[in-house]
């Protein structure tokens, strides 16, 4: 898929979300919040659902939790516009209550389609509800800062998931905030691991079925860091940035 095709596909999903009435949350929303970010990114952040400010603006993580998310990203040299940010439910639950299981189920096809289009190497979950989708059965107290393969059924065909506490939890507890900075510092390494896994999966597919190079080659191209988002890679402190276009495998040798 070209950049323009990805952009158009994400735009089409966003338009459907804006008009969606599939669950009761549509009744209380001011604006739906489909998500936003770089269509070419390797990393998708998934939160829980829009809050007060998000509902007003139609954009994810623009309130206090969003401010902290931006600071957390900055601590590894990333910017929010380099990644894609969305939520498990796209409409604000009344009084910021937790989304109900049937609301999450109703909204999941949108997230699945977004992940299908974006084909990220790494999914970063923010909080329990998002983690529950990508690390079924995990407990946030144990799973934060850890990585697992993603079930392709989620829409992310070949990705790892990395769990974070929700930034709103970090706003309520300085200890959770401290741990969140530690956890975020592990994201670049998780991305490198995710890239390596995708390269290996593509090579394995190539060995198994060399007559059909289209799939493994397409996957390998998607792994390469997009030139438009050079910051989506390990921070310079951990790994000197290679020149744009350098194969991801070259970065792996730095570790
Ligand atoms: N909290 C979330 O989970 N998502 C947002 O978009 C904002 C706050
Ligand atoms: Fe539709 Fe999701 Fe909004 Fe429910 S939360 S109305 S499923 S977009």
pLDDT at 226 over 50: no
Nearest listed ligand to the Cα of residue 13 = 2
Mean pLDDT on 47-57 = 98
Of residues 195, 203, 199, 202, the one with CA closest to residue 225: 195
* pLDDT given at position 1: 87
Q: Cα of 130 to ligand 1 centre, how many Å? A: 11
Average pLDDT over residues 25-43: 98
Q: E strands along the chain, which residues? A: 36-37, 43-47, 84-87, 122-126, 147-149, 160-164
Residue nearest to atom 2 of ligand 2 (CA): 107
167 lines ligand 1 (CB under 6 A): no
Q: How far is the CA of 22 from the centre of ligand 2 (A)?
A: 6
pLDDT attached to residue 210: 81
Q: What is the pTM of this model?
A: 0.85
d(CA 62, CA 212): 44
* Mean pLDDT across 156-183: 98
pLDDT value, residue 6: 97
Instruction: Compute the distance from residue 101 Cα to the ligand 2 centre, in Å.
Output: 12
Compute the distance from residue 100 Cα to the ligand 2 centre, in Å: 12
Tokens representing 96 are 């910021």
pLDDT tier for residue 116 given thresholds of 50, 70 and 90? very high
Q: Is residue 217 part of a domain?
A: no
The mean pLDDT value of the chain amounts to 87
The average pLDDT across 216-233 equals 43
13 in contact with ligand 2, CB cutoff 6 A: no
CA separation, residue 43 to residues 5, 171, 242, 247 (Å): 18, 23, 19, 17
Rg of the chain, C-alpha, whole Å: 18
Residue 172's H or E segment, with its range, is helix 167-172
Name the residue with higher pLDDT: 243 or 173.
173
Q: Which two tokens stand for residue 200?
A: 């290996």
Look-up: residue for tokens 């990508």? 134
Q: What is the pLDDT of residues 12-30, one digit of tens each?
A: 999 999 999 999 999 999 9
Nearest ligand 1 atom to the CA of 85 is 6
121 in any annotated domain: yes
93 lines ligand 1 (CB under 6 A): no
Pocket test for ligand 2, best of 101, 107, 114, 129 (most atoms within 8 A of CB): 107
The encoded tokens of residue 255 equal 């570790």
Give pLDDT, residue 211.
Answer: 64
Angle between helices 214-223 and 187-208 (to 10 degrees): 170
- How buried is 211 (Cβ within 10 angstroms: 0-12 exposed, 13-18 middle, 19+ buried)? exposed
User: How far is 167 from 51, CA to CA, in rounded Å?
Assistant: 12
Q: Write out pLDDT tens, residues 196-205.
A: 999 999 999 9
Residue 120, classified by CB atoms within 10 Å of its CB into exposed (0-12), middle (13-18) or buried (19+), is buried
Closest residue by CA, ligand 2 atom 7: 107
Let me know if residue 213 belongs to a domain: no
Q: Which residues of 122-151 are buried (b: 16+ CB within 10 A; e: fewer)?
A: bbbbbbbbbbbbbbeebebeebbbebbebe
Q: Cα 133 from chain centroid?
A: 12
Q: Which ligand is nearest to the CA of 35?
A: 1
pLDDT recorded at residue 168: 97
Which ligand places an atom closest to the C-alpha of 47? 1
Residue 18 domain boundaries: 3-193
Q: What's the pLDDT band for 212 if we cut at 50, 70, 90?
A: low
Average pLDDT over residues 183-190: 98
Question: Does 104 sit in the ligand 2 pocket, CB within 6 Å?
Answer: no
In the chain, how many domains are there? 1
CATH number, domain containing residue 162: 3.40.470.10
Per the domain annotation, does 224 fall within a domain?
no
C-beta atoms surrounding 121 within 10 Å: 29
Domain assignment present for residue 221? The answer is no
More confidently predicted of 57 and 245: 57
Average pLDDT over residues 157-174: 98
Is residue 172 domain-resident? yes
Domain contains 214: no
Mean predicted confidence (pLDDT) in 133-159: 98
């Amino acid at each position: 898929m070209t950049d323009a095709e990805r952009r158009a596909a994400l735009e089409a999903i966003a338009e459907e979300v804006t008009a969606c009435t599939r669950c009761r949350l549509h009744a209380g929303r001011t604006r739906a919040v489909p998500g936003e970010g770089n269509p070419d990114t390797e990393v998708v952040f998934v939160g829980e659902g829009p809050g007060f400010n998000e509902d007003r603006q139609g954009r994810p993580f623009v309130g206090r939790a969003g401010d902290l998310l931006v600071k957390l990203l900055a601590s590894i040299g990333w910017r929010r516009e380099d990644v894609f940010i969305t939520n498990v439910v796209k409409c604000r639950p009344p009084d910021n209550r937790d989304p109900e299981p049937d609301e999450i189920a109703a909204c999941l096809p949108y997230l699945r389609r977004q992940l299908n289009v974006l084909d990220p190497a790494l999914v970063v979950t923010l909080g329990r509800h998002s983690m529950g989708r990508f690390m079924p059965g995990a407990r946030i107290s144990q799973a934060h800062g850890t990585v697992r393969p993603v079930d392709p059924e989620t829409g992310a065909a070949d990705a790892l998931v990395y769990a974070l506490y929700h930034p709103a939890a970090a706003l309520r507890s300085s200890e959770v905030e401290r741990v969140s900075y530690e956890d975020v510092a592990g994201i670049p390494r998780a991305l490198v691991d995710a890239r390596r896994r995708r390269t290996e999966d593509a090579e394995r597919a190539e060995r198994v079925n060399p007559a059909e190079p289209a799939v493994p080659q397409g996957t390998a191209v998607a792994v390469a860091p997009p030139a438009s988002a050079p910051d989506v890679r390990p921070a310079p402190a951990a790994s000197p940035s290679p020149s744009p276009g350098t194969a991801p495998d070259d970065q792996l040798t730095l570790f």
